[in-house]
Amino acid sequence: MNQIADTIINSMTDLIGSATKAVPAVLAGIIILFLTKFAADFVCRLANKIGKKAFKSRSLQLLLAKTTHIFVWVVGVLFAAVVAFPGLRLGDIIATLGLSSVAIGFAFQDIFKNFLSGILLLIQEPFSINDQIIVGDYEGTVEAINIRTTQIRTYQGERVLLPNSTVFTSAVQVRTAFNHRRTDLGVGVDYNTELPRAKSILLQTVDNIEGILENPEPEVDLVNFGGSSIDLVVRYWTAPCQADVRRIQSETIMAIKAAFDEADINIPYPIRTVYHYNQQEFNDYLPNKNKESNESNNGTREYANRP
């Protein structure tokens, strides 16, 4: 029994001694992690300043800042692990990461997929911050392109977070990609209207509206013979922002209505013509045999009534 007790005491003593020796290394590793946080924030701010001077694109500035931030954290964590565990070598860490990369890839494939898609979006820059885009059923202004998600603000004031992989693989409509954007506004006139006069009035009306660009010039096309009207389309160009497009469209509709009223041009309602007939006199649904029998009976009656 004394030998067993001595063995346990010696083992506990060795463990305590080893833990005591490891405490300074572990504390040094923790200190390195804290220093890494401050270093990463400092390097991120420095990268932001350098990016603003080196790149005009906000997306590339974000990419530089986030890449340097992640790089500093990776270096800091590896250095802290080596200091906290002296027996652990950097080569062992890299070998362990290589062996576990497959398992990590399967476990976090969605995260890695969104991360790589975010990097490609920032590099290729199909759209920038503050662009107005449409992705699937969502439309709004791009607020941020993060490592995992693209953040947009809808016109209703709602925030939508879209996975970067979804944005990267979907068709994206960028409404503010160019300096101007066209609006097609349909209007119908009565069939008795002089079309050259109506077209001239539309062009004059559009030219007087503030916000409609002179170049490219507005156009008016006759497009269709409708059921109750001749249909025209007014095509004009404005600034690409959604707020400007909506405001100018409302002003254009009101101005066209006022100009047509002044010129005595009607914008007709849908017209439907209904024909009524006497079903007793015109019975189109009787079979042919019944019609013949009715005609023969009528003839017999007429013959029988003759004098």
**193 and 157 housed in the same domain:** no
Q: Which pLDDT does position 5 carry in this prediction?
A: 57
- Quick: pLDDT tens for 220-246: 999 999 888 999 999 999 999 999 999
- Quick: pLDDT tens for 13-36: 555 555 565 667 777 778 888 888
Q: Is residue 117 part of a domain?
A: no
**168 and 182 housed in the same domain:** no
3-state secondary structure of 297: helix
158, 125 contact by CB (below 8 A): no
Give the CATH number of the domain where residue 138 resides. Answer: 2.30.30.60
**167 and 236 housed in the same domain:** no
Q: Which residue has the higher pLDDT, 103 or 77?
A: 77
What is the total count of domains within the chain?
Answer: 3
Q: Which residue has the higher pLDDT, 131 or 104?
A: 131
d(CA 203, CA 167): 40
The single residue listed with the structure tokens 């969502």 is 138
165, 111 contact by CB (below 8 A): no
- Quick: pLDDT tens for 245-269: 999 999 999 999 999 999 999 988 8
**53 and 84 housed in the same domain:** yes
**182 and 217 housed in the same domain:** yes
Give the CATH number of the domain where residue 228 resides. Answer: 3.30.70.100
144, 129 contact by CB (below 8 A): yes
User: What are the tokens at 20?
Assistant: 């005591």
3-state secondary structure of 113: helix
- Quick: pLDDT tens for 268-301: 887 677 777 666 665 555 555 554 555 454 444 4
- The average pLDDT across 190-202 equals 93
d(CA 286, CA 279): 11
Cβ neighbours, 10 Å, residue 202: 26
Q: Which pLDDT does position 305 carry in this prediction?
A: 42
For the chain, the distance separating the N- and C-terminal CA atoms, rounded to the nearest angstrom, is: 150
**232 and 296 housed in the same domain:** yes
**Would you say residue 307 has pLDDT above 50?**
no
The single residue listed with the structure tokens 């954290």 is 73
**55 and 102 housed in the same domain:** yes
The single residue listed with the structure tokens 């096309």 is 221
User: What are the tokens at 203?
Assistant: 């062009």
**Alpha-carbon distance values, 62 to 44, 76, 103, 142 (Å):** 10, 21, 30, 14
**Would you say residue 199 has pLDDT above 90?**
yes
Last residue of a domain, one of 135, 156, 174: 174
Q: Is residue 115 part of a domain?
A: no
Q: Is residue 186 part of a domain?
A: yes
Strands in the chain per DSSP E: 132-135, 138-145, 149-154, 159-163, 172-174, 181-189, 219-225, 230-238
**245 and 196 housed in the same domain:** yes
pLDDT, the chain, mean: 79
**90 and 185 housed in the same domain:** no
d(CA 286, CA 294): 10
**Would you say residue 302 has pLDDT above 50?**
no
d(CA 257, CA 271): 20
**88 and 134 housed in the same domain:** no
The single residue listed with the structure tokens 């990419």 is 63
Structural domain boundaries enclosing 152: 125-174
**27-54 burial by CB neighbour count: b if 16+ within 10 A, else e?**
eebeebeeebeebbeebbeebeeebeee
**190 and 170 housed in the same domain:** no
What is the model's pTM? Answer: 0.63
Q: Is residue 116 part of a domain?
A: no
**203 and 226 housed in the same domain:** yes
